[in-house]
Amino acid sequence: MALLCCLAILCLALVQSHSAVIMSLRNHHKTHHHSSGPMIHTNQTTCAMFAGTWVQDDTYPMYQSSECPLIIDPEFNCQMYGRPDSEYLKYRWRPLNCELPRFNGIEFLLKMKGKTVMFVGDSLGRNQWESLVCLIYSAAPQTQTQMVKGDPLSTFKFLDYGVTVQYYRAPYLVDIDMMEGKRVLRLQDISENSNAWRSADVLSFNTGHWWSHTGALQGWDYMESGGKYYKDMDRLAALEKGMRTWANWVDTNIDPSRTRVFFLSISPTHYNPNEWNEGASPTTTKNCYGETSPMTVSGIAYTGTTYPDQMRVMDSVIREMRNPAFLLDITMLSELRKDGHPSIYSGDLSPGQRANPDRSADCSHWCLPGLPDTWNQLFYTTLLF
């Protein structure tokens, strides 16, 4: 009990630091009130959805990977590729001052009938897209469907309901062009990518991880801004330029009375065990491999350096939008889930790579079923209630 009280105090401090998120949710409830009364039971005027605790719940997960075998990429299908433990699947997010409604796939289809939901961003957006499709499909396995996986656009249609759920790959959101054999990241141009987004009824964006990549992982050869080309620049400055290009596009092209816009906050990684275990040493662990339970209170403060700085940029840009996107602030609740990554249980790894988790463990993406299902439960709650 003392542990939970301590966590509550710490999380309340987090709520105060995310006033933009809470204000956005308050405005959402004022303008999109559920006709039969809200299903989110709160003891305050606002549900602080993103501050709370992880609690064990044996009614989870909300689906099994075998229930949607065609949609989950091998990269995320941890149970199929040998993960021996399953307790990580049995945690439910409980906000401090409310209970979230359980995801209901049939209700989602009925309320979104005839509409298109599109996720735009990097592979974390794909992680969330696949989760949402599985959550819906497992609730309506007899419905007629159609799936086309492509690059940059992948589409899953629930034909009986006219509901389309799409993923558009755009790791930086802004455009990348080829020029004389070189990849040019256009920090102030989003026209090519955005052509694919205009007709969606719900848009959920994310970016972040690719902006800090260097060396072989870097996705561009030059950056272009204001007609000038750069081999490199301050990465936070580049992110801010790209984010402002995106925000200007949303403010100029999106009618908020017709289209809902979300932004997924930074999904944390767990490559440094010192962030959750002060006694960690190179001889015991080097990443998330072998982690089977969430962090306790001592791990609540995210101590990484890159992503909090990126979140400050994103929060600043979103606050200044004429019609701000709803910030789905999953960073802190995800930070607690060091146990939720594929680690070595990924179909993308060879047997040799699996034998060397210090070098090969994936501590960036998330297992499915798993944490992105909670992201979508929060997305569902905000979108429909």
Give the model confidence (pLDDT) of 31-82 as tens digits. Answer: 333 333 334 544 445 788 999 999 999 999 999 999 988 899 999 999 999 9
Give the 3-state secondary structure of the chain: CHHHHHHHHHHHHHHHHCHHHHHHHHHHHHHCCCCCCCCCEECCCCCCCCCEEEEECCCCCCCCHHHCCCCCCCCCCCCCCCCCCCHHHCEEEEECCEECCCCCHHHHHHHCCCCEEEEEECHHHHHHHHHHHHHHHHHCCCCCEEEECCCCEEEEEECCCCEEEEEEECCCCCCEEEECCEEEEECCCCHHHHCCCCCCCEEEECCCHHHHCCHHHCCCCEEEECCEEECCCCHHHHHHHHHHHHHHHHHHHCCCCCCEEEEECCCCCCCCHHHCCCCCCCCCCCCCCCCCCCCCHHHCCCCCCHHHHHHHHHHHHHHCCCCCCEEECCHHHHHCCCCCCCECCCCCCCHHHHCCHHHHCECCCCCCCCHHHHHHHHHHHHHHC
State the average pLDDT over residues 315-327: 97
- Give the Å distances, CA to CA, from 231 to 150, 186, 236, 238, 244: 30, 13, 15, 12, 21
State the average pLDDT over residues 211-219: 95
End-to-end CA distance of the chain: 31
Confidence of residue 20 (pLDDT cuts 50, 70, 90): very low
User: What is the per-residue pLDDT for 43?
Assistant: 41
- Considering the chain, what is the average pLDDT of its residues? 87
30-39, 108-117, 295-304: least confident range: 30-39
Give the residue carrying structure tokens 């999380």: 11
Opening angle at CA 122, ends 325 and 105, nearest 5: 65
Structure tokens, 310: 């990126």
Q: Which amino acids are annotated catalytic?
A: 123, 362, 365
In the predicted structure, residue 9 carries a pLDDT above the cut 80 = no
User: What is the per-residue pLDDT for 306?
Assistant: 58
- Are 109 and 116 in contact by the 8 Å Cβ rule? The answer is no
In the predicted structure, residue 16 carries a pLDDT above the cut 90 = no
Domain 2-32+48-384, what architecture?
3-Layer(aba) Sandwich (3.40)
Confidence of residue 2 (pLDDT cuts 50, 70, 90): very low
User: What is the per-residue pLDDT for 236?
Assistant: 96
State the average pLDDT over residues 197-213: 96
Please give the model's pTM, rounded to 2 decimal places: 0.87
